[in-house]
Amino acid sequence: MTDIINALVVLANFLLVPALTYGSQLALGALGVTLVYGVLRFSNFAHGETMAFGTMITIFGTWGLQSMGVSAGPLPTALLALPLGIAGAVALSLLLDKTVYKYHRQRKASPVTFLIVSIGLMFFIGGLVRFVIGPGDQIFFDGTRFIFSARDFKKATGLDEGLALKMTQAVTIITAILVVAAMFWFLNKTRTGKSMRAFSDNENLALLSGINPDRVVLITWILVGALATIAGSLYGLDKSFKPFSYMQLLLPIFASAIVGGVGNPLGAIAGGYVIAFSEIAVTFAYKKVVAYVTTYEPESLVQLLGTDYKIAVSFIILVIVLIVRPTGIFSGKTL
């Protein structure tokens, strides 16, 4: 019996908690992609770099606060700097919308043109971020490291295996829940949110009903900038900030959005967790679990795929969804 509990603890420690954390980050990222898709009707390849940009500003804010001696106690200081990062990312998004996207929108360019434009912006923002903060790793986490560590857990329960909960993991999951709740409240209960959904559902009808398209676009970019910064900062706190890894996040984020059903916020969240769980579950080494559950101790790591192929997992799920159910789990085209 204790063996099975030990096995479950191993799974919870190395699979469940990391996957919930990573899934929350992906879900927030995918939510941004889905919003752009739903309202502006294109796949935004620059989203990963927007995340990196917002995180960069947050890091500068954190450094500033740290040098002034401000801290959030056990919580990471970066949470206090988050509003600054959000403001930065929103400002950048609005500026780029005004200077770049607006022109193509007025000419009613095809979605593919928008896609290429967003790739151009991806390089522009990516270059900007690397130019300002450099391509290297930045660790900006401070505060208490663990809420409870593996040793505390072992002492408290008397089990052989430990379950640790890092501060960043708890912060990520709680922030994600709060943000998602606020987001749904906004989309479903407020007048502005409803007008956004109407615009996403049927643009012409929305225009006829007197919804101001410029305002909808403005609100969308504000939300996207905020979501991108929060997702990026949480990811950066949990792992570390490195511009290149944000470029690599693009594929899992797109996969999450598509798996859930592009344009559907609920789908984006579900997709994020599906991708995160499969990525970690497929590349997880089950050796210990097998050893606990059965009496046999396997020699190999009992890993379905090497960790190097992590990125392939989200792609394979994407392909399966495209073959079996191209509209995604929650078949949705509107917000």
Pick the closest to residue 256 from 268, 266, 242 (CA basis).
268
Nearest-approach distance from CB 124 to another protein, in angstroms: 4
Identify the helix (H) or strand (E) that includes residue 148.
Answer: strand 146-148
Nearest-approach distance from CB 150 to another protein, in angstroms: 31
| CB closer to another protein out of 57 and 249 | 249
Give yes or no for residue 296 binding another protein (CB under 8 A): no
Nearest-approach distance from CB 251 to another protein, in angstroms: 5
Q: Which of residues 147-206 bind another protein (CB under 8 A)?
A: none
Q: Which of residues 309-328 bind another protein (CB under 8 A)?
A: 309, 311-312, 314-315, 318-319, 322-324, 326
Nearest-approach distance from CB 112 to another protein, in angstroms: 5
Both tokens of 15, joined, read: 């699979």
| CB closer to another protein out of 68 and 324 | 324
What CA–CA distances, in Å, run from 330 to 9, 260, 327?
A: 32, 6, 7
Beta bridge partners of 166: 146
Nearest-approach distance from CB 159 to another protein, in angstroms: 32
Q: How far apart are the first and last CA of the chain?
A: 47
Q: What single letter denotes the amino acid at residue 235?
A: Y
CB neighbour list of residue 24: distance below 8 Å, 6 or more residues apart: 172, 173, 175, 176, 177, 234, 272, 273
Among the listed ranges 81-89, 107-115, 269-277, 282-290, the one in contact with another protein (CB under 8 A) is 107-115
Pick one of 116, 218, 285, 291: the residue that binds another protein (CB under 8 A): 116
Give yes or no for residue 115 binding another protein (CB under 8 A): yes
Give yes or no for residue 244 binding another protein (CB under 8 A): no
Pick the closest to residue 243 from 56, 27, 47, 22 (CA basis).
56
Judging by DSSP bridges, how do beta strands 146-148 and 165-166 pair with one another? antiparallel
| CB closer to another protein out of 52 and 79 | 52
Give yes or no for residue 63 binding another protein (CB under 8 A): no
d(CA 33, CA 29) in angstroms, rounded, equals 7
Q: Are 168 and 236 in contact (CB under 8 A)?
A: no
Residues that bind another protein (CB under 8 A): 42-43, 45, 100, 103-104, 110-113, 115-117, 119-128, 130-131, 134-135, 248, 250-251, 254-255, 258, 304, 306, 308-309, 311-312, 314-315, 318-319, 322-324, 326
